[in-house]
A and B are shown apart, each in its own frame.
Chain A
Amino acid sequence: MTLIQEMIIIGVVAAGTLTTRFLPFIIFSSDSPTPSYIKYLGYVLPPAVFGLLVVYALRNIELSSIQSFLPEMISVAVVIILHYWKRSMLLSIAGGTLFYMLLVQVFF
């Protein structure tokens, strides 16, 4: 690829990303009231999207190999337990991550 072609590809990827981010705001401009169905979606979508992001973060585990999924599953459990126990985001995230690093570096 030439430099110009590379710049075009980077520009196109940036434009595509901008499109996905700006589209809802262009369609439902702030001047007019948001339709109630869209308001409803804005209310129920976040919890569903958080679920999607959890699965997205774990998308590369393979259930066929213990080495691939056991450290993830145990560490996710650690995060959940820590969070129910102390309900401190930083503690849950740091604790779970350090635990995972220990598992993959020492045991698996």
Chain B
Amino acid sequence: MTADKHLNAIKYAFPKTIPILAGFSFLGMAYGIYMHSLGFAPIYAIMMSLLIFAGSMEFVAGNLLLSAFNPVSAFILTLMINARHLFYGISMLDKFKNTGKKKYYLIYGMCDESFVINSTAGIPKDVDKGWFMFYVTLLNQIYWVSGTAIGSLFGSAITFDTSGLEFVMTALFVVIFVEQWMKEHDHFSSMAGLAISAVCLMIFGADQFILPAMVIMLLVLSFVRRDKMKDKVVTDK
């Protein structure tokens, strides 16, 4: 692997991560300020962003540190909140094949945003796929950790009105959904994901809808469509 190939992969990866740069700088800072407000030294937020690297879980972990010591329930809560990563892993099994040792970091750093970019980016032939995904993941983590560090160190000094900036993550997910919609001929999967999640949100509420939504999606996609789509998948791959 020559330096040129690395440069090539970074050049192609960086533009794809610009929305994440905006979102993670802001959300990372918000997390740093939040941890500061809970009374933790900056090293806490920074270490948690490095080690855990899962946005919403880190906010929850800040609260766990302030409640009674219960590692077992903390572990189970983490599994529940982050269960969606299981779906990401299943989707990336083939894409991460033949990426060598990078694979461990690709899996370690597979947050929502890195998954979304790595699973949808059409990578040109002259760009190394493994290194492209590696740099997308690395850049995203750098944005998040830097944002966290800035927020926890200097958060109180920010004076301009940033309210509403958090919408950048919503906008990213909407664009990815629309892009997928424009590309696909069969909208069943997209529709099922959106509808099942929305119904589960209404029934179970914001804190608990993800797990039931995942289970129902799995059941619906497994039983309703399996026969129709199976042949297509086998011939595609």
Digitize A44-67: 1 where CB-to-B-CB distance is under 8 Å, 0 elsewhere: 111111111111111110000000
- Asked whether, in the complex, the Cβ of A101 is within 8 Å of the Cβ of B167, the reply is yes
- Asked whether, in the complex, the Cβ of A20 is within 8 Å of the Cβ of B217, the reply is no
Nearest residue in B to A49 (C-beta to C-beta)? B87
- Asked whether, in the complex, the Cβ of B233 is within 8 Å of the Cβ of A39, the reply is yes
CB proximity of B124 to chain A, nearest CB, Å: 16
B-facing residues in A3-32 (Cβ within 8 Å): 5-6, 8-25, 28, 30
Choice from B78, B164, B171 contacting A92 with Cβ under 8 Å = B171
Q: Are A21 and B110 also in contact (CB < 8 A) when A40-B226, A54-B194 are?
A: yes
Choice from B78, B167, B191 contacting A97 with Cβ under 8 Å = B167
CB proximity of A70 to chain B, nearest CB, Å: 13
Give me the 10 closest cross-chain CB pairs, A-B, nearest first.
A51-B193, A16-B78, A48-B193, A24-B89, A51-B194, A101-B164, A55-B197, A20-B85, A57-B170, A47-B189
Interface of B toward A, CB cutoff 8 Å:
15, 18-19, 22, 44, 47-48, 51-54, 57, 61, 64-66, 69, 71, 74-79, 82-94, 96-98, 103, 107-108, 110, 112, 116, 119-120, 161, 163-165, 167-180, 182, 184, 187, 189-198, 201, 206, 209-210, 213-214, 217-218, 221-222, 225-226, 229-230, 233-234, 236-237
5 more A-B contacts (CB under 8 A) besides A45-B90, A57-B170?
A: A5-B69, A36-B230, A53-B112, A55-B213, A93-B171
Between-chain CB contacts (< 8 Å), 25 pairs: A9-B65, A10-B52, A17-B52, A21-B82, A21-B110, A22-B107, A30-B98, A36-B234, A37-B226, A39-B93, A42-B91, A46-B91, A47-B189, A48-B190, A49-B87, A52-B194, A52-B197, A60-B206, A79-B175, A80-B174, A89-B19, A89-B179, A90-B19, A97-B164, A104-B164
